[in-house]
Structure 1
Amino acid sequence: MRRKAVAAVSRRELLVMVVVAGGLWMVLSATWVMLPFRLLVTLVHEANHAVAAEIVGGDVHYVIVNEHGGGLTAWDYDGQPSDTAVLFVASAGYVGTAVIGALLIEGAARLRRGRVAAIALAATIAAIGLAWVPWRVDPGPFAAAGTGSDSGDGRFTVLVCCLAIAALVGIAFQPSVRLRRLSITALATTLCLAAVDDLREVLDWSSRGGHSDAAIAAEFSPLSSWMWAGVWLLVGLGACALGLWSALSGDRSTDGSSAPSELPLLNDPSADPKTRMP
């Protein structure tokens, strides 16, 4: 039995989903309603730090999030890490989250059924949990004071990972294609907007001398923390805008239906049996 073809996401449908998801985030981002999304954004942010640390040869001890929406990645380096390595790891959190959000927006438009994207997200979170999330952690007094973390956040992060995986698998295997598209687009938009919103806050903190990833980057470069926050903000905005532009500029019809087949040429004698030569 042949599977029924599914139309690509139309520009109108994609725009509506992005605008609605973006509006909900801007209105409700500070409320408990958006806490699950905030925790997912923080998990992605911290995992980006961990991936960057592994790339530069570091040893990642753990990745955790806490019930307040904060997070912490602990890593070290065999010897003294180079300034470039520290800057790369510090930049990966916010910029990486915006880039992943942009790629997901593009994927939501290209992957017609949305199932692959949902399963890929679930597998990624499972990999993060297995690789870097311990059952118990000791964040230390300085990190605990700066991030709000405590020794129970390992167990809390395991719970967050399990619930996120269950939700994504449920989305992947429920029968509505439209709901899958909506869910992936909402997650992608949330990642983009949360990364940009967080960077805006970091820019404010940095201008007042607060501790952040930008402050860490400033210790290893001539740029100040607010300059780093500004650079990351511009890169994040650019990545999100590029992802949305790429999704909207795809070769799709305005109503999501497939393009009409090519009409026969009027001067082609084989187009109409009545005009064929004997």
Structure 2
Amino acid sequence: MEWLSTFPHLDDASLTALKKSIDEGFRTFTRTYGGGIETFFQPLQFFLIQCERIMTRTPWPIVILVIAGLAWLASRSVKLALGCVVMLLLIGFFDMWDDTMKTISMIFVCTVLAIAVGLPLGIAMSRSDRLQNTVNPILDVMQTMPSFVYLIPVVMLLGIGRVPGLIAVVIYAVPPMIRLTNLGIRLVDKDVLEAADAYGSSGWQRLFKVQLPLALPTIMAGINQTIMMALAMVVIAAMIGVQGLGQPVLKAISNQYFTLGMFNGLAIVGIAIIFDRVSQAYGRRLQRHMEVAHG
């Protein structure tokens, strides 16, 4: 290990000064622009609070019927719809209903935001190799960065609360949406695109009437992965004030409550299974529909 002594590196004083200057610069930025950034995200906070109120104040039989109905419409599977009903009844029986509804509302808002950000960016990447080569390394960093690291700049900018947690979850969960949107559009058969051009389609018509419909199964896979990553971030985001099933899990860790942590962890797993099975079933239905339409 003697070769390490010859390796060029900053001395401790210079490295400490560099870190301090970066930290101080970020603190100055936070003090100067933090209030404006917080105001910018107020509509997002309002949206999240309204979703939570709808989910927690709606009578539980209606919520269960709506979720089971959506599961059936997506999958056309009675077994999957009944599985959703049983899962939600168990969650309610073990007194985790309110926390589960808050978690579902958080995942819903995160997924909507991830789609709103990831879909246009994925489309833009599919139309530009230069943009793809620029964004892909950023996505690589985002997907390999430890999830706790996302909390640091968000908390420094916005403090503790729902919105900082929501933003951290979206940043963590959006890369699959971007990647699979780009991939799905790029995998559209070139013969189909040539046929669309032959019929005189404009660029927008080709995108919205040919590429996006054919890429929809792959895009649904991206939405599925985004939901799974958002659920994985729920417990970590609870550290900065995100309400839901993550907070009882953190309480169980700090107080060594085995059953509390186990039951809430299983509730998160149950929600993940529901979202995963429903979105995958809908993606398979879309795939079969596309194959029949173009078979």
Assess same fold via TM > 0.5: no
The structure with the largest helix share of the pair is 2
Higher strand proportion (structure 1 or 2)? 1
Q: Could you state the TM-score of these two structures normalised by the residue count of structure 1?
A: 0.32
